[in-house]
């Protein structure tokens, strides 16, 4: 899943980006309000992490614009503004959660997972579809109770498909979910990941809907 990190502090931004990457997320990082606004127009993000004190446009202003435009993207504010009034204002402006700096990185990641889960309408941390079970926290997949070893990109491809079980995702949507800016993406990279997934999970696991994209099958 691809996240947008909006943070002007280079040390914090770097640490958060690395933490999220090692948790398996693709992360795009912007350092000012104006580029954040431009990036938020991209519908490919699963969640935004929003700092409030930013050059060129304040985070609260960005958030209000985002919600006024009808965007449902989950937003987690991470700010040094720790007064109760600031936290209330952030949540009331449409943020889904608010953490104050300094925060614990593991807790931040746990909150990201919780927000993504709720946004997908799920309460169970495990994503289950037929005989397939995907654990986004442990980054494990089991098929009929047996663990299947996947590469990080294979896992990310399957996770994107399993977030919307039965729905057809285009190659571009899968690329958006699996890769961040600056990642090298070969022209047939997604096809290669899906080919490996089929080899490991069975040919019927991933369906190719010709000319449209791919969907995950409900395996028995
Ligand atoms: Ca800041």
- Concatenated DSSP letters of 78-139: EES--SHHHHHHHHHTT-SEEEESS--HHHHHHHHHHHHHHHTT--SSSEEETTEEEETTTT
How many Å lie between the centroid of ligand 1 and the Cα of residue 51?
6
Domains of the chain and CATH, by start: 2-120 (3.40.50.2300), 127-216 (1.10.10.10)
pLDDT category at 58 given cuts 50, 70, 90 is very high
% residues pLDDT > 90 (the chain): 93
| pLDDT for the residue 104 | 97
Q: What spatial distance separates the first Cα and last Cα of the chain, rounded to whole Å?
A: 26
Structure-block tokens of residue 203: 């040919």
Please give the distance, rounded to the nearest whole angstrom, from the Cα atom of residue 33 to the centre of ligand 1. Answer: 10
Compute the distance from residue 177 Cα to the ligand 1 centre, in Å.
27
In the reported structure, the alpha carbon of residue 74 is separated from the centroid of ligand 1 by a whole-number distance in angstroms of: 20
pTM: 0.91
Give residue 81 CA to ligand 1 midpoint distance, Å: 10
Burial class, 132, CB count within 10 angstroms (exposed 0-12 / middle 13-18 / buried 19+): buried
- Residue 79 CA to residue 52 CA, distance in Å, equals 6
- Report how far ligand 1's centroid is from the alpha carbon of 16 (Å): 13
Model confidence at 186, pLDDT cuts 50, 70, 90, reads: confident
Distance 7 CA to ligand 1 centre (A): 6
């Amino acid at each position: 899943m691809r996240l947008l990190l909006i943070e002007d502090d280079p040390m914090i931004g770097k640490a958060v980006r690395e933490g999220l990457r090692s948790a398996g997320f693709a992360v795009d990082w912007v350092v000012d309000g104006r580029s954040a606004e431009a990036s938020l127009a991209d519908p490919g993000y699963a969640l935004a992490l929003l700092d409030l004190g930013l050059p060129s446009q304040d985070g609260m202003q960005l958030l209000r614009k985002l919600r006024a435009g009808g965007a449902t993207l989950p937003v987690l504010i991470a700010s040094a503004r720790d007064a109760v009034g600031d936290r209330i204002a952030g949540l009331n402006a449409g943020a889904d959660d608010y953490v104050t700096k300094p925060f614990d990185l593991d807790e931040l990641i746990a909150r990201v997972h919780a927000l993504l889960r709720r946004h997908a309408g799920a309460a169970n941390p495990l994503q289950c579809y037929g005989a397939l079970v995907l654990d986004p926290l442990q980054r494990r997949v089991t098929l009929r109770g047996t663990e299947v070893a996947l590469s990080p990109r294979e896992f990310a491809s399957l996770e994107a498909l399993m977030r919307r079980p039965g729905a057809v995702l285009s190659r571009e949507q899968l690329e958006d979910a699996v890769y961040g800016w600056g990642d090298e993406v070969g022209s047939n990279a997604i096809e290669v990941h899906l080919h490996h997934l089929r080899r490991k999970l069975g040919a019927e696991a991933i369906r190719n809907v010709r000319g449209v994209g791919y969907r995950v099958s409900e395996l028995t």
